[in-house]
Amino acid sequence: MLEKDDLARFPRPNVAVDIAVLSVLPRQLPHAIGSLAVLIEGEPGGRTLPGRFLREGQTISECVVDVLSVKAGMSNVRAEPRLLRAFDDPRRDPRAWTLSLAHSLTLPPRLLRGARGALVPIAAGGQLVLGEPLLFDHDAIVSEAAAAIRERYERLPDPDGLLEEPFTIAELKSLHEAVIGVRLLKDTFRRRMEPNLRPLAEADGARLLRSDGGRPAQVFTRRADLEPEAAIQRRGLLPRAAR
C-alpha cells in the first residue's frame, strides 16, 4: 500500500460538482399541465448548471449545499444529490486538470423562490424549452436527470418529495403530469398509486380538501412503511415461487 509521501507525489485533479436542480413549474394556461424545470445560471452564451469545486474536508452533499447557498442564494436545504455521471476528459478544462461530477437534486418550488438563476422548463424529450444550449455537456446531464426522475415518477407517488403532505390524488396527479410531461388517466393513476398511499384518518384533523368546487377529496400521505423496491409491482421473468 502507498505511504503518505507517495500519495502526495502524484498530481491530483480539481473536482467540480455540477448539479441539475430539478423542480416543477405551475401550469401557464387554465387547462394545460405544469412542467418539469431545471435551474440554469449564467447569461446567454454562457449558461451552465450551478456547480463549484469540492473543498477539502467537505462531502459532496455539503458542497451541494454550498452551491445552493452561495450561487443560488438558498439556505437550509436538505440535499440528497444523486450522482449521474463523471466528466473525465483530461483536456475538458484548458486551465487545469478538472474532473466534474454531475448530480441531480429535486427541490420543491417553495424552496426555489428567490433563487438566483432561471427555472427553465424541460420538454418531453429532455431538452430545454428555451434558449441556447448549455456549456460543456450540461444539456446531456439535464436530459439524463429528466429521464431518471420521470422513470421514478412512473412507479411511486412523489418519490422525491415535491409535494407537501397531506395531498389529494388530484394534486398528486397534477404533479406527476408536470414531471412526466404527459396528461395521465385518473383511474389508472389512482389504482397505481393508492397501494403506496396512506389515507389520513378523520382524527388527524382536516379530513377533506377542496379544489375548485366539487366533491371533496380524501387526503393521503406517502406510506413510509414500504420498501420502495417491495412497493413496485415486479412482473418480470421470475416464476411466482421465486417472489
Partner DNA sequence: TTAATAGTGTCTATAAGACAATATATA
Partner DNA sequence: TATATATTGTCTTATAGACACTATTAA
Interface with its own copies (CB under 8 A), residue from 154, 164, 165, 204 = 154
Strands (E), the chain: 14-25, 35-40, 51-53, 82-87, 98-106, 118-121, 167-168, 197-199, 208-209, 217-222
Binding to DNA by residue 210, rule CB under 7 A?
yes
Interface with DNA (CB under 7 A), residue from 28, 116, 191, 204 = 191
Return the number of the residue (130 or 237) whose C-beta is nearest DNA.
Answer: 237
Return the number of the residue (15 or 226) whose C-beta is nearest DNA.
Answer: 226
DSSP state of 42: S
Residues 107-136 that bind its own copies (CB under 8 A): none
Return the number of the residue (119 or 222) whose C-beta is nearest its own copies.
Answer: 222
Name the segment binding DNA (CB under 7 A); options: 42-50, 103-111, 135-143, 232-240.
232-240
Interface with DNA (CB under 7 A), residue from 215, 224, 225, 229 = 215
Residues binding DNA: number (CB under 7 A):
28
SS3 assignment for 86-145: EECCCCCCCCCCEEEEEEEEECCHHHHCCCCCEEEEECCCCCECCCCCCCCCHHHHHHHH
Amino acid at position 208, single letter = L
Binding to its own copies by residue 15, rule CB under 8 A?
yes
All three cell numbers of 21, joined, read 436542480
